[in-house]
Structure 1
Amino acid sequence: MSALRLHLVRHGETLFNVRHQLQGWCDAPLTPRGLKQVEALGEHFRDVPLVAAFSSDLTRTRATTLGGLAAHPSIEPVWLRELREWNFGGWEGQSNPSLWEPLFASRGYRYGEEGHWALLTANGPEEVIDLIAASDVSGLAETAAQVTERMRAAVRIITTAVDSGDVLVVTHGSALQTLIPAFVPGARIEAGYPNCGVTTVTISDGVASLGRLDASCSLPEYVTSGFVLP
């Protein structure tokens, strides 16, 4: 049987990314740098024989997917609610530190300190998701069980629809923390997954493996005039 190669991509840079705001299910437009990243993504996949594309249904992932498919106009992407970012509930739109600093501190770690995300999520991201939900006074944030079921549903949809070939899958930074283990049990990725970063999951003879991160489309050398970049 031929292998199924799933090219997992985080969306292009947005205004909320630049402003260090929690984004979740709300949306912000792509920055000029984000648009350049999406163009680079299209070139990256120009000579890849894509057979299908799946994407979160939010605006930033839709724009990224369409750019990634620039050389594949015959492919109709499938928009999936299941591939959305974690729902941060009442925290959405707030500054990243307003959530993460007290959450890290509650477990004896420091937000932004190298290696502390890995320590915080040593047993997976589920505890973190539940801590976010517990701290959300609006009651709208998702629990770990809800996020995990969404990601498992996305995996079922994608692998049922396509059994071989190259597939583009566009989602979100935190969602990748739970989506990748849903494809490759026990697999982990580091925090700070770059905008338009690409990691390939290969499934062959029922065995899934995770490839290396390709950050070339994140364009770290590109400076956006008028924006303060992270």
Structure 2
Amino acid sequence: MAIITRVYLVRHGETDANRNGIIQGQLDTPLNGVGIKQASLVGEALRDVPFSMAYSSDLSRATRTAEAILAHHPTLQVHEQKELRERDMGDMQGKSAQALKGVRLVVSTDRTVESGPFFAARAVTWWNRTILQRTESLSQEDHPQHILVTSHGGFIATLVQTLIQSRKLNSAPGIVIWGCVNSSVTIIEVNEKQKGVVIQYGNTSHLEGANLDNVVEENVDETQV
């Protein structure tokens, strides 16, 4: 079955909040020095991908990452979309995850936090409206279209897990859905029947040998989803 669209989901580069275990949610935190370097490296890794469209969360850590990638694709403009933001963590935003006790319990009871079902629905609605509708319009194309999406760890993990649970996605053999670290690349192929396959998840091979400080493995926003 023909592959119509290949979607590249890229998590933004590192921020000081990531490094310090601070819950960001929808706070607009900038990339730190490591994050800027990570964004540059993922841009180099994707420089030969013939992107036809680019979307990004409107939070600066995501848009700055998109800009680093699109530096190699000067004819493309990034389309900022609020729907691609991280989960709104309400009153928990800006607080240290380590300092909070029973964080998961707080998430489930704090009415200022975007609910898990609402967050998952937001992610899937974005996918249906932005990716699948575009795929449908491209069904007669001879070659797959390549779409760049820069977003957040919690959003990417929730989107992929929810689509797999609803059987809109499958995972290719050997693919493990695990943590989505800074500047990692996840690739989903969508066929003419609008069914998807995750062919790569959370890949950070572009960071190997870069002499960066220890990569932050835990995403405190994602672990609360």
In the TM superposition, residue 55 of structure 1 has moved relative to its aligned partner by 1.0
Change (3 A) 1:178 1:74: same
Aligned pairs for 1:14-163 (under 5 A) are 14-99=15-100, 102-103=102-103, 132-134=107-109, 136=110, 139-159=111-131, 160-162=133-135, 163=138
Q: Identity over the aligned pairs, expressed in percent?
A: 28
Contact map agreement 1:200 1:210 (CA 8 A) in 2? yes
In the TM superposition, residue 218 of structure 1 has moved relative to its aligned partner by 4.2
Letter in 2 for 1:195: N
The total of aligned residue pairs comes to 197
Letter in 1 for 2:95: Q
Q: Output the TM-score relative to the length of structure 1.
A: 0.77
Task: From 206, 212, 217, give the equivalent of 1:217.
Answer: 206
In the TM superposition, residue 28 of structure 1 has moved relative to its aligned partner by 1.8
In the TM superposition, residue 222 of structure 1 has moved relative to its aligned partner by 2.9
In the TM superposition, residue 2 of structure 1 has moved relative to its aligned partner by 4.3
In the TM superposition, residue 190 of structure 1 has moved relative to its aligned partner by 1.1
Identify, as 1 or 2, the structure richer in strand.
Answer: 2
Distance 1:219 1:20 in 2: 23
Q: Output the TM-score relative to the length of structure 2.
A: 0.78
- Answer yes or no: is 1:195 the counterpart of 2:170: no
CA offsets 1:130-182 (integer angstroms, 9 cap, x no match): x6141x2xx32101232122112210232223544111111111111211135
Contact map agreement 1:202 1:208 (CA 8 A) in 2? yes
CA offsets 1:170-229 (integer angstroms, 9 cap, x no match): 1111111211135444567213x11110010101132211112321234575335xxx86
Letter in 2 for 1:161: R
Match for residue 220 of structure 2?
none
Distance 2:121 2:210 in 1: 38
SS in 1 for 2:72: coil
Letter in 1 for 2:200: R
Q: Give ranges in structure 2 of 5+ residues lacking alignment.
A: 139-143, 171-175, 217-225
Contact map agreement 1:202 1:209 (CA 8 A) in 2? yes
Q: Give ranges in structure 1 of 5+ residues lacking alignment.
A: 107-130
- Answer yes or no: is 1:179 the counterpart of 2:159: yes
